[in-house]
Amino acid sequence: MNAAVDIAIAGTGHTALTAALALARALPQRRIALLGGADAAASADPRVTALAAGSREIFTQLGIWPALAAVAAPILDIRIDEHGAPARASLGPVAAADAFGHVIENPVFAAALATAVAALPNVERLPAVTGTPRPAADHCALPVGEGSVAARLLIVADGTDSPLRTALGIEVEARDYGTTALLATLELDAPHGGLACEHFTPSGPLALLPLPARDGRERMALVWVLPPPRAAELAAASPQRRLTELRAALPPGAAPVSAMGDPALVPLRRIRACESVRSRLVLAGNAAHSLHPVAGQGFNLSVRDLAALAQTLREHAAVGGDPGDLRVLADYARRRERDQQRTLMFSEALPALFARRELPLRLGRQLGLLALDRLPPLRRAVANFGAGLSLPAARVVDADARL
């Protein structure tokens, strides 16, 4: 098979699907190929995604928000505290229309994105890239099985370990956090009321996120960051012992847990690619930056990146710009620098700050939580930052365009 397209997106995850959606909407005249086929692993992805209010705005522009909201649970309050210490901060409650974010299970999310992509007339699905991409002056040649695809721009969205990034010789700054996230779905004895908890323990943060009820049962997602031996011990323990240990670790005020689903373990690493653009090439999603999940920022940052990429390409296309031209891509990279830097620093600093045991720092944290709880302007600033609303959202489509 040989094909020529304007934009090729290599990947099968949320970033690749969202990129296809955003670019197809922004550039309806361009031919876009999604290289990777269906992701067989997507239905087994144990993660959930808390989509921040900033992402909601972008998915609304993309015309898919009502479909996502229908299968997500709104976050109406966020409670932050520290194990064994009295102070705690509450960022809400807020009304459903002002939800801090929405939580969606990854397989459900992938299915909704795939349905939306299938309806786009200018996106085609092709098999995965099978060799090293070869950027040339006016296109990037992509080996696909026995043939090849020539694309004016390649978007690499093949995840944290990104085989294509490696094949292209792009270096990464990597850091192993030396911790593992234990993920599980919890069933509750009482409604969660849209409450999300960020509970900092000496071994790492424990997050509870509201999920939509299933078969009449109230549910939450657990993301429990632990030292790897402790995570492995809990994963191997009997369901009853696991539940007992979880109950002892839960924050005060959390809804009572009646059952815990099978746990999945995810080792935590930070990756940042040393280059995010080259001529004919953009790295996106986890292939560009993979963050600590503590603040739920990773995918939300990628959504803002993709919206900005779509806006940048749309603006340059209006004056005849080539989507793979390095000047166009450098413009995109410049627009994203500040947000990426801040979000990476925030996701890195938060768990590090709460891991410190020195008395002055513990007191400082308690004062900080009290201030957050009592000072509405500080609360608003933190909530806006977490929601990705502290910088204006990119316009994927013209403000007056109708979907």
Ligand X SMILES: Cc1cc2nc3c(=O)[nH]c(=O)nc-3n(C[C@H](O)[C@H](O)[C@H](O)COP(=O)(O)OP(=O)(O)OC[C@H]3O[C@@H](n4cnc5c(N)ncnc54)[C@H](O)[C@@H]3O)c2cc1C
| Minimum CB–partner distance for residue 14 and ligand X (Å) | 5
Handedness of CA 303, 305, 311, 314 (dihedral sign): negative
Nearer to ligand X, 167 or 375 (CB): 167
Q: Tokens 């989509």 belong to which residue?
A: 51
Per-position b or e across 264-284, b if 16+ CB within 10 A of its CB:
eebebbbbbbeebbbbbbbbb
| Minimum CB–partner distance for residue 211 and ligand X (Å) | 12
Q: Are 43 and 57 in contact (CB under 8 A)?
A: no
Nearer to ligand X, 13 or 324 (CB): 13
Nearer to ligand X, 12 or 311 (CB): 12
Reported as type and span, the H/E element at residue 231 is: helix 228-236
Nearer to ligand X, 65 or 299 (CB): 299
| Minimum CB–partner distance for residue 161 and ligand X (Å) | 8
- The contacts of residue 360 (CB under 8 Å, 6+ apart) are none
Nearer to ligand X, 156 or 322 (CB): 156
| Minimum CB–partner distance for residue 147 and ligand X (Å) | 15
CA-nearest of 56, 49, 77, 73 to 379 is 77
| Minimum CB–partner distance for residue 92 and ligand X (Å) | 17
DSSP 255: P
Cα(64)–Cα(75) distance, rounded to whole angstroms?
Answer: 19
Kindly tell me the burial class for residue 202, based on how many C-beta atoms sit within 10 Å of its own C-beta (0-12, 13-18, 19 or more): exposed
| Minimum CB–partner distance for residue 361 and ligand X (Å) | 26
User: Three-state DSSP class for 116?
Assistant: helix
Nearer to ligand X, 260 or 322 (CB): 260
Nearer to ligand X, 78 or 157 (CB): 157
User: Three-state DSSP class for 205?
Assistant: strand
Structure tokens at 297: 């920022």
Nearer to ligand X, 152 or 270 (CB): 270
Please give the residue ranges that form the binding site for ligand X (CB under 6 A): 10-16, 35-36, 39, 41, 47, 49-50, 128-129, 157-160, 163-164, 181, 183, 223, 266, 285-286, 293, 296-300, 302
Nearer to ligand X, 47 or 336 (CB): 47
Cα(62)–Cα(271) distance, rounded to whole angstroms?
Answer: 28
CA-nearest of 101, 91, 52 to 301 is 52
| Minimum CB–partner distance for residue 16 and ligand X (Å) | 6
User: CB-hemisphere CA count at 13 Å for 274?
Assistant: 8
| Minimum CB–partner distance for residue 325 and ligand X (Å) | 24
DSSP 327: H
CA-nearest of 320, 355, 322, 99 to 225 is 355
| Minimum CB–partner distance for residue 10 and ligand X (Å) | 5
